[in-house]
Structure 1
Amino acid sequence: MAQGAPWRTSHRVIFVIALVVAVTGFLAIAAVGHAFFDLKVYYGALNYWHDGGSIYDFLKPGTKYGFTYPPFAALVMLPMAYVPWPLAIVISVALSVVTSALLLWWLVEPIARRVGWNHWFALAVALCLAAAFEPMRETVDFGQVNMLLLFLVGADLLRLVGQGSRWAGVGIGLATAIKLTPGVFILYLLVTGRWRAAFTAMGTAVAATLFAGAVAPDASRTFWTEALWNTDRVGALDFISNQSLRGVVARLNPSDPSTAAWLALVVLTLAVWVWRSRAAAAAGDEAAGLALTGALSCLISPVTWVHHLVWLLPALVLLVDNAYLAPAGSRRRRWLLGSAIVAYGFLISRIVWVWERDFSGVLGFVGGNLYVWISLALLVALPIRCRSQVAGSTQSGGQPRSGASGGEAGQLAEPGDVAQLGKPYRRPSPRPLKFENHSFAVGH
């Protein structure tokens, strides 16, 4: 065994190098250069503000785009006004890479233990695959803050809420104060009965907002009374990059999109999310709660540009996690891995941009909204792990459990071996196996 370890390590190193080369080649062909467009908006607005102007009056020269985030975000980013532009790029990229690495590690570490992979190998593979993920590469190339927000929320749900920490909710509150969209995770805490964490999140968001109001009263007044309601600063709702339910409705009738139809879809989507998120919380599966609420945020936000879809990343990783909880060679594992591969394949392909100029007709409706359909499928069908599986995923150590071999550590047969993507896979008791049929219920 000791003699085999260097061989396995050398092959893993070769595989990672080959994967890096392949992803680099793919990015050279598929990635679209945005030249840090959004970062230039932030940088210009912050410098304009630093020089005495109103941050919400600034528009990037030749465009209608300006700073759209709350004043607290401006204060967080203000140090950017004191550094040269090249250093601002380095900081933006480094922040996205570091936060992505930490979040991915929290999500893939249980898979690495389950299949017997070295930790460095699992993280390296995950980072390479994430680099090819269109929302991720768009986030980095635009200079967006999406991964920072996802990291703050993920740290809260994956490391604090489940452990009942007194700090639970702070990350969600800070993310909400930086950008309003993560506020949906406060709703998640309320819906799932985590009252203390929910009020901590609300208190943090309010405190950060009041702090910004005290430090920058003019900017705060302008944002909450004017800039927040100026939708022209965001972009056209029917633009193909808007992969939300609002975008779907707008593309059906660009000249007069139905607000009533959109609101009806939002209500229906919220109902499904409440049902599934309560089931995830009851099972103690905070990662599933993060993934389901991330998918919800993409769906119900009026504007979800492609780079905002980084919120789907936890759901894709959890598809793989659930696949490796199923028995090797089972239909369930094949379905889950196949679903993860298909969804990931579409989400690196830029396929929706085929319909950028003409999204009419059935093909335009199906293909031009494909990322929305993926978000919906993940919301409806993402498996929820049972409590014993969640507990097993958080155990320390990197070796398979006793009684299991190699890559199949902790895997037992599932009744009927049926691929039911929306159901939790339940581990039988240590007694002689007696299979029962389990139906999915909110209380589980």
Structure 2
Amino acid sequence: MRGPRTPRGRVLLVLVLVAAVTVFTATVPLLRDFFDLRVYYGTVHMWVRHGGRIYDYQVPGTAYGFTYPPFAALAMLPLAPLDRHSAIAASLLANLAALAAILRILAGPDWRRHGWYRWSLCLCLLALFEPLRDTFSFGQVNLVLLALVLGDSWLLATGRARWAGAGIGLAAAVKLTPALFIGLLLLAGRRRAAALATAVAAAATALAAWADPAASRFYWTEALWDTSRVGRLGYVSNQSLQGVLARLGETDRPLWATAVLLTLCVWAWRTRGAVKAGDWTAAFALTGAAACLVSPITWVHHLVWLLPSFAVLLRAGHPRIAGALYAVLCTSVVWLWFDDSSGIGGFLGSNTYTWITLGLLLGLPTGQPPVLRLPLARSTSVRSTSVTAPAPSPESPAATAGPGQPQSSAVCDVAAATGAGGDVCRDLGVSPSSEPTGSTRPAASKPQSSSSRASSYTVNPPPA
């Protein structure tokens, strides 16, 4: 079924979708009341204005405080002179800017050809994506970190590798999970970029240690190893391998370490293949999925790291698979097993997002021809495609773009000569509350789902 073709019809459809999305997000998911932003804001204010210690702050009425490395608190110092409402506005603007950068990078240099209509539909769909709407509602920082990391992907893919690695280093200094992308750079043989990322992360960490030696000492020797500060491993929002094992009652570290090691082996194998094919978008998407799996705690809002995977699926010509997986991640389905995740149904259902992440790691297509890749290489010449043009002859002259023929048409001519024209030309558009994550369940009177609580990261489960 095709959408409206007239400008008036398209404007009307977009307005209807915006209204529907607004009603949905305002009434169905539980709002998070910018809880994580309240943690950042309160920590910075107590540290700067009242001389308190970073890791002593707790949101009033809760047991939750700052859990990131000390450099993260240093990076959030701009919150200190702001009032609460201004801090919320700054958080929303920062996340919107980060989202715009992410979409621009994933769409590639031809992003303008999608037009306002397609981008409007895309934004409506993104507003339904549970990890994304929770990131905004919590006031989280993962979108900003993803933008920093994908910035390095863009630098590598476009041949501007001089500063590649700086974004990864900053992201790793704020949260530890993005450090896996340094491993990606090493696998790819990009030693200079890996060294730069390591140096930036080390310099940022050293700067934080100079600013507050006691906080750095406490974090690296105590807080880092105490997962109870972050939340219960078995909480249904934890969609990592550790969360799966915890919900099964398996808390042995050797078992989790084995699962992590196997996952990293699969990641290294698949990522090397993507890098060998020059497919940086897929390599970064695979690394984001692996990071979500191996992290001890991956709250649902952390799954914004899967956004590059959906771009890869669309680019590879799998819109139905991408749409089905994306739709599941919009449903908050894991919360059906909020109270009880026992049995085979609980094992499968409560870990739905983990299975999706694992499936993406195992099956994400890689090595697409450069003409289909996002972002594209600098040159869109015939030579940049993976098809080889036949030698010109009097009967079959070389396919080159003339003054009135666009370059993409010339690419299609060459691709058609090798039997790959259909797919290439088609893609070129040339004709031949305070829960740790969102829940769609209505607010209940019990403490676990009541908006009166500040958070429930470490709420004890209800008795069986």
Query: For residues 209 and 392 of structure 1, what CA distance do their matches in structure 2 show?
Result: 33
| Alpha-carbon spacing, 1:345–1:409, altered in 2? closer, same or farther (3 Å) | farther
The answer for the alignment partner of 2:293 in structure 1 is 299
User: Is 1:38 matched up with 2:32?
Assistant: no
Q: 1:160–1:167: 8 Å Cα contact kept in structure 2?
A: no
User: Is 1:117 matched up with 2:103?
Assistant: no
Measure how far apart 1:123 and its partner are. Answer: 2.9
Greater helix fraction, Structure 1 or Structure 2: 1
TM-score with structure 2 setting the length = 0.79
Q: 1:285–1:390: 8 Å Cα contact kept in structure 2?
A: no
Measure how far apart 1:402 and its partner are. Answer: 7.7
Match for 2:134: what amino acid? E
The answer for the alignment partner of 2:264 in structure 1 is 270
Query: For residues 215 and 227 of structure 1, what CA distance do their matches in structure 2 show?
Result: 18
Measure how far apart 1:290 and its partner are. Answer: 1.3
Measure how far apart 1:161 and its partner are. Answer: 5.7
The answer for the alignment partner of 1:321 in structure 2 is 315
User: Is 1:84 matched up with 2:83?
Assistant: yes
| Alpha-carbon spacing, 1:235–1:7, altered in 2? closer, same or farther (3 Å) | closer
Measure how far apart 1:109 and its partner are. Answer: 4.4
Query: For residues 353 and 410 of structure 1, what CA distance do their matches in structure 2 show?
Result: 51
Measure how far apart 1:280 and its partner are. Answer: 1.0
Measure how far apart 1:8 and its partner are. Answer: 4.3
User: Is 1:146 matched up with 2:145?
Assistant: no
Give per-residue Cα distances to partners, 1:322-355, cap 9 Å, x unaligned: 11xxxxxxxxxxxx22211111111010000000
Percent identical? 47
| Alpha-carbon spacing, 1:265–1:110, altered in 2? closer, same or farther (3 Å) | farther
Query: For residues 269 and 40 of structure 1, what CA distance do their matches in structure 2 show?
Result: 34
Q: 2:106–2:308: 8 Å Cα contact kept in structure 1?
A: yes
Give per-residue Cα distances to partners, 1:47-87, cap 9 Å, x unaligned: 11111011111111221111111111111101212110000
Matches within 5 A, 1:417-432: 431-432=417-418
Measure how far apart 1:185 and its partner are. Answer: 0.4
Query: For residues 178 and 351 of structure 2, what CA distance do their matches in structure 1 show?
Result: 23
User: Is 1:290 matched up with 2:290?
Assistant: no
The answer for the alignment partner of 2:213 in structure 1 is 217
The answer for the alignment partner of 2:13 in structure 1 is 15
The answer for the alignment partner of 2:441 in structure 1 is none
Give the CA RMSD over aligned residues: 2.9
User: Is 1:260 matched up with 2:254?
Assistant: yes
Measure how far apart 1:137 and its partner are. Answer: 0.6
User: Is 1:386 matched up with 2:368?
Assistant: yes
Give per-residue Cα distances to partners, 1:240-264, cap 9 Å, x unaligned: 00000000011111xx523222222
Query: For residues 434 and 190 of structure 1, what CA distance do their matches in structure 2 show?
Result: 34
Matches within 5 A, 1:35-114: 35-50=33-48, 51-109=50-108
Give per-residue Cα distances to partners, 1:391-442, cap 9 Å, x unaligned: 68526899xx989x9xx98998xxxxxxxxxxxxxx995544399xxxxxxx
Measure how far apart 1:30 and its partner are. Answer: 2.9
Structure 2: runs of 5+ lacking an equivalent: 381-399, 422-464
The answer for the alignment partner of 2:444 in structure 1 is none
State the secondary structure of the residue aligned to 2:145.
Answer: helix
| Alpha-carbon spacing, 1:78–1:262, altered in 2? closer, same or farther (3 Å) | same
Query: For residues 410 and 12 of structure 2, what CA distance do their matches in structure 1 show?
Result: 29
Task: Please identify the structure whose Cα radius of gyration is greater.
Answer: 2
| Alpha-carbon spacing, 1:111–1:318, altered in 2? closer, same or farther (3 Å) | farther
Match for 2:138: what amino acid? F
User: Which consecutive aligned stretches of 4+ in structure 1 deviate over 6 angstroms post-superposition?
Assistant: 395-398, 408-412
| Alpha-carbon spacing, 1:391–1:141, altered in 2? closer, same or farther (3 Å) | closer
Query: For residues 64 and 57 of structure 2, what CA distance do their matches in structure 1 show?
Result: 8
User: Is 1:337 matched up with 2:319?
Assistant: yes
The answer for the alignment partner of 2:25 in structure 1 is 27
The answer for the alignment partner of 1:228 in structure 2 is 224
User: Is 1:175 matched up with 2:156?
Assistant: no
Structure 1: runs of 5+ lacking an equivalent: 1-5, 324-335, 413-426, 436-444
| Alpha-carbon spacing, 1:366–1:305, altered in 2? closer, same or farther (3 Å) | same
TM-score with structure 1 setting the length = 0.82
Query: For residues 346 and 434 of structure 1, what CA distance do their matches in structure 2 show?
Result: 33
Match for 1:229: what amino acid? W
Match for 1:233: what amino acid? R
Q: 1:110–1:321: 8 Å Cα contact kept in structure 2?
A: no
Match for 2:91: what amino acid? S
Query: For residues 303 and 372 of structure 1, what CA distance do their matches in structure 2 show?
Result: 12
User: Is 1:195 matched up with 2:191?
Assistant: yes
Query: For residues 95 and 141 of structure 2, what CA distance do their matches in structure 1 show?
Result: 8
State the secondary structure of the residue aligned to 1:53.
Answer: coil
Moved more, 61-70 or 83-92: 61-70
| Alpha-carbon spacing, 1:411–1:369, altered in 2? closer, same or farther (3 Å) | farther
Query: For residues 15 and 75 of structure 1, what CA distance do their matches in structure 2 show?
Result: 45
Query: For residues 354 and 245 of structure 2, what CA distance do their matches in structure 1 show?
Result: 11
Match for 1:296: what amino acid? A
| Alpha-carbon spacing, 1:428–1:63, altered in 2? closer, same or farther (3 Å) | farther
Moved more, 25-34 or 191-200: 25-34
